[in-house]
């Protein structure tokens, strides 16, 4: 079974599974396809993270996050007119200041599928990228999400190098259902399929990318691409009353997602009725406690003053749980800036499971599209600060803070669960909703995802710090939450502001149950 926020990506994964491929191979295919068919949400010019479980083996992960360029220093930005109190621009060539790591993640996963995990993978990379190449060359229908986001960001982005030529039609946003082609990107994917993923960092493609980036004014150079390697990591683990929950290490906020669930475990969340005002209140208050810790400590692990293990200790989580008042909301301030991402999950016939996330940060990333390779480059590095006293101050080769965090759970009853979402600050909150509704309250994955959701603070398309709830919640819920001190803002009934979630659960019998988000253009594919 595969789940993705665009149905063509889940179908690409399913095709590989039908041909005998394993979950890792299927996810590479899905990752390539989603980068083509959902271009406003992700790109091969971004980063990715993987959490992987193979039965009988330790849970593992891949960190395919690119670091800041060697030239990307506070002095470099000062020379370009930006002082310590200024923010790095969200858009343009000087926002493209970190290496795009996702292709290295594909290569590492493909290698693991063949020998690293002993899964017997035999599918060549050229086959895994076939669908993506075809969709880039011959086109795909524009989704409503792509049309809508392009129009919202058109004025902001149309002046960026390559944006209009790639994403607009005669200066206007593409119409839903029209055919969207990316022939230059098709050529780049063909080159990767032929020469391997390493070509992106140390081959002919790397030389081209370095020249393109330098020519438009990015601080990235060939040396930055050459020094990049995806890393195999041990994911973070939270021992929970229902089993072990895994998520990605810093610089992602995986520890935040785990902290929220750990705090709620301390509070015995199940004493409240699912989707009640009390349930939502406690989930939101646990989120606030975890976000406060995040903003104090979570950054590139080389610079962290507290280890994730300390932040996930039972004693520390218990101390945070004690800060939560059962009937009064903690006043809330500014959150992180918006972000865009995709999450996908695959579980194969042998129980191998992959939770995967891929992103270019904001909608269309930095907004630049390289002229020959056709790659839309990420702006993840604008999360750095130019203030030398900031937790995430910019340094050459430093990794940027990531909202990305793919989740996986091994429950005590023998079930395996992969789940996740896009959406910046909304990611830990939607993960909380999906996990608690399924694992704690026993809901079916589709029911858990389709039910109305909430979002505290900011995420993509939103800049307010209110508690946003979908309008399908009863008016009584909104009134009750408001009475507790939450500043309530109503969203549409199915509003993609709360993310594009997905989930797959494998029972001990081998039966697979999945859920996809009706707020997306996605689907669950299985056989």
Q: Are 79 and 230 in contact (CB under 8 A)?
A: no
Q: Are 481 and 467 in contact (CB under 8 A)?
A: yes
Give the residue numbers marked as catalytic.
Answer: 341
Query: What is the layout of strands, in order, in the sheet containing 236-240?
Result: 236-240, 243-247, 407-411, 416-420, 502-506, 512-516
Q: Please, which residues have CB within 8 angstroms of residue 134's CB and are 6 or more apart in sequence?
A: none
Residue 487, Cα to own-chain centre: how many angstroms?
27
Q: Are 7 and 324 in contact (CB under 8 A)?
A: no
- Rounded CA separation 211/217 (Å): 10
- Rounded CA separation 130/365 (Å): 25
Burial of 234 (C-beta count, 10 Å sphere; 0-12/13-18/19+): exposed
Closest CA to 435 of 279, 251, 317, 278: 279
Point out which residues pair with 420 in neighbouring strands.
Answer: 502
Contacts 24+ apart (CB under 8 A), 464-473: 464/489, 465/332, 465/333, 465/334, 465/335, 467/284, 467/329, 467/332, 468/497, 468/498, 469/280, 470/494, 470/495, 470/498, 473/275
Residue 126, Cα to own-chain centre: how many angstroms?
25
Q: Please, which residues have CB within 8 angstroms of residue 118's CB and are 6 or more apart in sequence?
A: none
Point out which residues pair with 90 in neighbouring strands.
Answer: none
- Structure token pair of residue 250: 């810093």
Point out which residues pair with 361 in neighbouring strands.
Answer: 340
Q: Are 40 and 359 in contact (CB under 8 A)?
A: no
Report residue 273: phi and psi, to 5°. -70, 140
CA-to-CA separations, 219 to 72, 87, 382, 388, 510, in angstroms, rounded: 6, 16, 13, 19, 49
- Rounded CA separation 83/77 (Å): 7
Packing angle between helix 254-266 and helix 314-321, nearest 10 degrees?
70
**Is there a cis peptide before residue 72, judged by omega within 30 degrees of 0?**
no
Packing angle between helix 23-37 and helix 130-138, nearest 10 degrees?
10
- Rounded CA separation 68/290 (Å): 26
- Rounded CA separation 419/429 (Å): 12
């Amino acid at each position: 079974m595969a789940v993705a926020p665009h149905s063509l990506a889940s179908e690409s994964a399913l095709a590989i599974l039908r041909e005998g491929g394993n979950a890792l191979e299927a996810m590479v295919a899905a990752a390539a396809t989603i980068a083509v068919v959902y271009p406003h949400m992700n790109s091969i010019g971004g980063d990715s993270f993987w959490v992987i479980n193979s039965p009988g083996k330790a849970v593992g992960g891949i960190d395919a996050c690119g670091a800041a360029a060697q030239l990307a220093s506070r002095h470099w930005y000062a020379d370009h007119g930006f002082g310590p109190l200024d923010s790095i621009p969200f858009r343009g060539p000087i926002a493209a200041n970190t290496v795009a790591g996702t292709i290295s993640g594909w290569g590492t996963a493909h290698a693991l599928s063949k020998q690293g995990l002993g899964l017997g993978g035999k599918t060549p990379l050229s086959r895994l990228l076939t669908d993506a190449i075809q969709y880039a060359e011959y086109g795909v229908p524009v989704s409503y999400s792509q049309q809508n986001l392009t129009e919202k960001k058109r004025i902001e982005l149309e002046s960026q190098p390559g944006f209009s030529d790639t994403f607009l039609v005669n200066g206007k946003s593409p119409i839903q259902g029209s055919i969207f082609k990316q022939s230059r990107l098709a050529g780049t994917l063909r080159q990767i399929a032929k020469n391997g993923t390493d070509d992106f960092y140390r081959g002919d493609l790397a030389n081209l990318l370095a020249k393109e980036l330098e020519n438009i004014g990015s601080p990235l150079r060939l040396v930055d691409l050459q020094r990049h390697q995806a890393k195999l990591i041990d994911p973070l683990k939270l021992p929970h009353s229902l089993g072990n929950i895994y998520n990605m290490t810093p610089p992602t906020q995986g520890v935040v997602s785990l902290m929220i669930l750990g705090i709620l475990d301390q509070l015995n969340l199940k004493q409240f009725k699912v989707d009640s005002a009390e349930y939502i209140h406690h989930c939101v208050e646990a989120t606030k406690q975890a976000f406060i810790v995040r903003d104090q400590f979570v950054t590139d692990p080389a610079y962290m003053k507290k280890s994730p293990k300390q932040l996930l200790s039972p004693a520390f989580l218990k101390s945070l749980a004690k800060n939560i008042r059962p009937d009064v909301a903690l006043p809330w301030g500014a959150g992180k800036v918006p972000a865009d991402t995709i999450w996908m999950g695959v579980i194969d016939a042998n129980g191998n499971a992959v939770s995967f996330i891929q992103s270019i940060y904001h909608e269309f990333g930095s907004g630049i599209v390289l002229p020959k390779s056709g790659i839309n480059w990420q702006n993840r590095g604008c999360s750095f600060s130019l203030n030398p006293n900031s937790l995430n101050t910019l340094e050459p080769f430093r990794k940027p803070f990531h909202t990305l965090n793919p989740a996986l759970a091994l429950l005590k009853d023998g079930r395996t669960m992969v789940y996740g979402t896009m959406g910046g600050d909304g990611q830990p909150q939607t993960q909380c909703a999906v996990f608690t509704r399924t694992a704690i309250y026993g809901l079916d994955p589709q029911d858990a995802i389709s039910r109305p959701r909430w979002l505290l603070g900011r995420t993509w398309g939103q800049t307010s710090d209110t508690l946003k709830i979908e309008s399908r919640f009863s008016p009584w819920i909104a009134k009750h939450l408001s009475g507790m001190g939450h500043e309530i803002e109503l969203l549409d009934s199915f509003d993609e502001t709360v993310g594009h979630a997905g989930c797959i659960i494998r029972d001990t019998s081998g039966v697979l149950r999945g859920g996809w988000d009706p707020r997306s253009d996605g689907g669950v594919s299985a056989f």
